[in-house]
């Protein structure tokens, strides 16, 4: 292990990953381990604080737009009106997918694909498609061979727009609808919902989705962001780094918990009596089953993102005249908190929020990428700006050294 005092940490510096604790051996999963320095995201799990570049998430969720947050993550400050206008225009300009990408999308197995094991579909397939299409975008980016800071900044903008267009179009095709051209008049959140559903969303729906994008935009060195930074540290291109992040997000221990929450709610059923939610969850707890959407590796109090998603779930349910999903969620939240002393995390109320917006469960994890692309690209750009290859060391626990080679005939 490297002594923390041996050399200072700088953004992107190569370090033998060191533990914040005094123990010599690293914790499993690198828990509480500092791997780099970053100016992007601040977390305080004991106080339930999440901040982007010093701005509290509650302040941003109440007042900002996703476009403003993108600028903040990329530039470490909020934009002026002119700068925001320029970014909005650049995002609009980048929404339309290159024709080869559209052709590739039509050739891929959207929805479900026959396999030797039957039919395969769902969020895993959608993440496979997003990974493949994002990789293909790199071939058709006009700055593909330019790896300058200015070109990478332009690619970050294009990726943010194009991933949203890909996910919305995948959802549209999965539901049997034809792809829609983006609407240049609409903002990022509204345009996504329009391209997905074919309907121009209400002000409430637009704001709810905009806030959801803000809340999911970044979360320090989570698994997918760390994967992106490790890839970027090799000086691979930005598209490859984002593909690494998407492949990591596909894993069920990272993305997908909100989809599991919605499946639990659907299992209970919207026509069930409210008490059934408690009965189903009690039965699962009795069998030692994990209830999705609770607890967090970082937060020891309420996940600050859950605060806003709870409000949005309630308001959207009232607007739709279907409050049962929110009511069931409240019952489950109260029970799990009482029985397991676990708080709801960002995934728990995002499930009913997305469902109320008419979003398919199979799109929940890809939509995570629609938001997190802003944070992923911010971290990749930060890595490029002060780069050194990330090459940690392992705590060797194998057979003692040296082992004597035994000839084959004597074994």
Distances (CA, A) of 361 to 166, 264, 343, 356: 16, 11, 23, 11
φ/ψ (deg, to 5) at 194: -65, -50
Spatial distance between the Cα atoms of 263 and 257, rounded to a whole number of angstroms: 10
Please count the helices (runs of H) and the strands (runs of E) in the chain: 16, 7
Spatial distance between the Cα atoms of 291 and 280, rounded to a whole number of angstroms: 11
Nearest to 271 by CA among 324, 307, 201: 324
Spatial distance between the Cα atoms of 173 and 162, rounded to a whole number of angstroms: 16
CB 307 within 8 Å of CB 299: no
Spatial distance between the Cα atoms of 351 and 36, rounded to a whole number of angstroms: 32
Nearest to 317 by CA among 364, 348, 355, 370: 355
Spatial distance between the Cα atoms of 338 and 139, rounded to a whole number of angstroms: 52
- What is residue 44's three-state secondary structure? strand
Nearest to 177 by CA among 320, 360, 370, 316: 360
Q: What does the DSSP 8-state code read for residue 381?
A: H
Q: What is the DSSP track for 165-202?
A: HHHHHHHHHHTTPPP----TTS-HHHHHHHHHHSSPPP
In the block, residue with structure tokens 């194009």: 162
Sign of the CA dihedral with 257 first, then 260, 264, and 266 last = positive
Active site residues: 296, 347
Dig out the tokens for 215 from the structure.
């809340």
């Amino acid at each position: 292990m490297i002594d923390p005092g041996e050399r200072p940490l700088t953004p992107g510096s190569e370090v033998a990953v060191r533990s914040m604790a005094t123990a010599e051996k690293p914790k499993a999963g690198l828990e509480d381990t500092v791997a780099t320095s970053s100016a992007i995201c601040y977390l305080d799990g004991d106080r339930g604080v999440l901040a982007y570049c010093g701005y509290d998430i509650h302040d941003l969720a109440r007042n900002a737009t996703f476009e403003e947050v993108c600028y903040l993550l990329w530039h470490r400050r909020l934009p002026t009106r002119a700068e925001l206008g320029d970014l909005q225009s650049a995002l609009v300009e980048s929404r339309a997918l290159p024709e080869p990408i559209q052709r590739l999308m039509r050739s891929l197995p959207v929805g479900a694909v026959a396999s030797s094991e039957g039919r395969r579909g769902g969020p895993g397939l959608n993440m496979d498609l997003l990974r493949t299409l994002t990789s293909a975008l790199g071939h058709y980016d006009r700055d593909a061979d330019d790896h300058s800071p200015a070109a990478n900044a332009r690619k970050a903008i294009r990726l943010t727009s194009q991933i949203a267009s890909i996910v919305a179009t995948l959802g549209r095709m999965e539901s049997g609808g034809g792809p829609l051209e983006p609407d240049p008049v609409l903002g990022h959140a509204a345009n996504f919902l329009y391209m997905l559903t074919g309907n121009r969303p209400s002000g409430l729906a637009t704001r709810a989705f905009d806030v959801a994008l803000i809340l999911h935009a970044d979360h320090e060195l989570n698994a997918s962001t760390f994967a992106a930074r490790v890839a970027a540290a090799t000086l691979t291109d930005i598209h490859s780094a984002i593909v690494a992040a998407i492949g990591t997000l596909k894993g069920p221990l990272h993305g997908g918990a909100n989809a599991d929450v919605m499946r639990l709610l659907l299992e209970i059923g919207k026509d069930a009596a409210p008490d059934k939610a408690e009965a189903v969850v009690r039965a699962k707890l009795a069998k030692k089953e994990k209830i999705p959407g609770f607890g967090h590796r970082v937060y020891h109090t309420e996940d600050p993102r859950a605060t806003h998603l709870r409000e949005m779930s309630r308001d959207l349910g009232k607007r739709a005249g279907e409050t049962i999903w929110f009511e069931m969620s409240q019952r489950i939240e109260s029970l799990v908190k009482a029985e397991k002393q676990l708080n709801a995390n960002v995934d728990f109320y995002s499930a009913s929020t997305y469902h109320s917006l008419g979003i398919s469960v199979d799109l929940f994890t890809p939509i995570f990428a629609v938001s997190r692309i802003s944070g992923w690209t911010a971290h990749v750009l930060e890595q490029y700006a002060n780069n050194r290859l990330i090459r940690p060391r392992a705590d060797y626990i194998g057979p003692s050294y040296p082992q004597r080679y035994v000839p084959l005939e004597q074994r």
